[in-house]
Copies of this chain bind each other. A is one copy, B any other.
Amino acid sequence: MTAPLKSIDGTGDSASLGKMMAGIGRDARAAARALALAPAGQKNRALSAMASAIRAGKAAILSANAEDIAAAQASGMTGAFLDRLKLDDTKIEGIAAGIETVAALKDPVGAVTESWTRPNGMTIERVRVPLGVIGIIYESRPNVTADAGALCLKSGNAAILRGGSDSTYSSRAIHAALTQGLREAGLPEAAIQMIPTRDRAAVGAMLTGLDGNIDVIVPRGGKSLVARVQDEARVPVFAHLEGVVHVYVDRAADLAMAKTIVLNAKMRRTGVCGAAETLLVDRAAASTHLKPLIEMLIDAGCEIRGDKDVQALDARVKAATEEDWRTEYLDAIITAGVVDGVDAAIAHIEKYGSHHTDAIVTADAATAKKFLRQVDSAIVLHNASTQFADGGEFGFGAEIGIATGRLHARGPVGVDQLTTFKYRIRGNGQTRP
């Protein structure tokens, strides 16, 4: 289906790798220029054709995936890793449907977000335009190939994809379907390129920005991948290293609501970045709220690592270490402690948090307002579960990730955040005095 790819195991020759990567960068930049001007309808036709090609290519994708799975098993990979890597009919239908969801989103490109008229009669518009070229570096989740490619295309950006080496065959098969969609809609195939080598030096090349031909890098994967990208990238990165997510149960919290929210925030899915990792309970509510919350979590199968107050409640509570308060478990474990009111909760979150997502449960409006104002996180919630930290739940339709950096994108990164803007000024001969 696709043009022949170079050896996926690399040439072993850094000069030829550099030359290849530079060419990928130039092709992406040229494609980005075409995509920036592509009408919404053409991009959506490409996305629909991609979804069809994914469905039509199911057998080929499953067969490629079986090769990846066999290789992973042979090298002794674990259950969770294989789960993420493995595709089946349902997952492939999910990939196709995901592309269609992106197609149905409003096109951000060309949207006028502000406009005003100057005293001299000039009108100024601020209009969304694509960012340019987005590099996505991800681990062995083949579905990211389609998710990221579709989001970049919708927002008018060219994508350079570098998937985990363990999902090479699956990602290539999915990429072939994306390429077919681009071709059917008459868009440049270089709009979504996949690095055709497993050579790890290709990642290093991407992180340098390919001579200015990558505008932003999005890492998708575990903490070590994100840390490497954040440390080494010479271009902006949209990412979050971790989500040390807090739920603070205030003295004015309704106990039933607190239980519902804490249980959902911690246990709905423990492996997502919006899962709660620390429970803080107001000392003024400890006598009434703490024990029921802790017992509920233990009953739900959650391990508790607590401070002295929490340990005193139940023999099953382990002692929390200083490190525990900074830990993103991504598992059925929570650190729990008692704090002296909302100010102490805010100070704790400032000290130990990761500026990702934090919530307060309270019926007191002034306390909620203080928490929402002072906690310096991308997402702050009042009386709602932290597991809403997700582009889909925000109504963005889809997200390429969640960012905790402060520049440009923060929180769920959807198609709007994959754009920048320019100013269009219209006059009738105005000159500056």
A→B interface (CB under 8 Å):
33, 36-37, 110, 116, 118, 122, 124, 129, 131-132, 215-216, 236, 254, 257, 260-261, 263-265, 268, 350, 368, 372-374, 376-385, 387-388, 390, 393-395, 406-408, 410-411, 420-432
Contact of A387 among B129, B374, B407, B431 (CB under 8 A): B431
CB of B379 within 8 A of CB of A422, answer yes
Contact A431 B131 (CB under 8 A): no
In the complex, given contacts A372-B424, A388-B432, what are 20 additional A-B residue pairs having Cβ atoms less than 8 angstroms apart? Answer: A36-B376, A37-B373, A122-B384, A236-B236, A257-B428, A263-B431, A264-B432, A368-B426, A378-B422, A379-B422, A379-B423, A381-B424, A381-B426, A382-B426, A383-B430, A384-B427, A385-B432, A387-B432, A388-B425, A407-B420
Cα A431 to Cα B264 in complex, Å, equals 6
| Cα distance A129–B378 in the bound complex, in angstroms | 10
A216 to B408, CA, bound (A): 12
Which residues of chain B are near A406, meaning CB under 8 Å?
Answer: 131-132, 215, 420
Shortest beta-carbon contacts, A-B, top 5: A384-B427, A264-B431, A408-B408, A387-B432, A257-B429
Nearest B residue to A256 by beta-carbon distance?
Answer: B429
Contact A215 B376 (CB under 8 A): no
Flag if A268 contacts B236 (CB, 8 Å). Answer: no
Q: How many copies does the complex hold?
A: 2
Specify which chain B residues have a CB less than 8 angstroms from the CB of A132 in the assembled complex. Answer: 406
Complex Cα–Cα for A127 and B385 (A) = 20
Cβ contacts under 8 Å, A423 to chain B: 378-380, 394, 410-411
- Are B373 and A407 interface neighbours, CB within 8 A? no
A268-B431, A425-B384 known; A407 vs B131 contact (CB < 8 Å): yes
Q: Are A384 and B37 interface neighbours, CB within 8 A?
A: no
Cβ contacts under 8 Å, A131 to chain B: 406-407
Chain B nearest Cβ from A289, distance in angstroms: 15
Residues of B within 8 A of A378 (CB): 422-423
A82, B200: Cα distance in complex, Å: 53
Distance in Å: Cβ of A199 to nearest Cβ of chain B: 26
Cβ contacts under 8 Å, A385 to chain B? 430-432
The smallest beta-carbon distance between A400 and chain B, in angstroms, is 15
Flag if B381 contacts A427 (CB, 8 Å).
Answer: yes
Flag if A122 contacts B426 (CB, 8 Å).
no
> Which residues in B have their C-beta under 8 angstroms from that of A387?
431-432
- Taking a contact as CB atoms under 8 Å apart, the answer to whether B379 and A260 are in contact is no
Bound CA span A162–B351, Å: 29
Residue ID in chain B nearest A416 by CB atoms: B114
A408 engages B411 (CB within 8 Å): no
Are B379 and A425 within 8 A (Cβ)? yes
Question: Looking across the interface, which residue of chain B has its beta carbon closest to that of A370?
Answer: B37
Bound state CA distance, A380 and B425, in angstroms?
Answer: 6
Cβ distance A284 to chain B, nearest Cβ, rounded Å: 21
Interfacial chain B residues near A411, Cβ < 8 Å: 422-423
**Distance A304 CA – B131 CA, assembled complex (angstroms):** 36
Residue of B350, B383, B422 touching A429 (CB-CB under 8 A): B383
Chain B residues with CB under 8 Å of A422's CB are: 376-380, 410-411
- A selection of 22 A-B contacts at a CB cut-off of 8 Å is A37-B373, A118-B393, A131-B406, A132-B406, A254-B429, A261-B431, A268-B431, A372-B426, A376-B422, A378-B422, A379-B425, A380-B424, A380-B425, A381-B426, A382-B426, A384-B426, A384-B429, A384-B431, A385-B430, A390-B432, A407-B408, A410-B422
Min CB gap A387→B, angstroms:
4
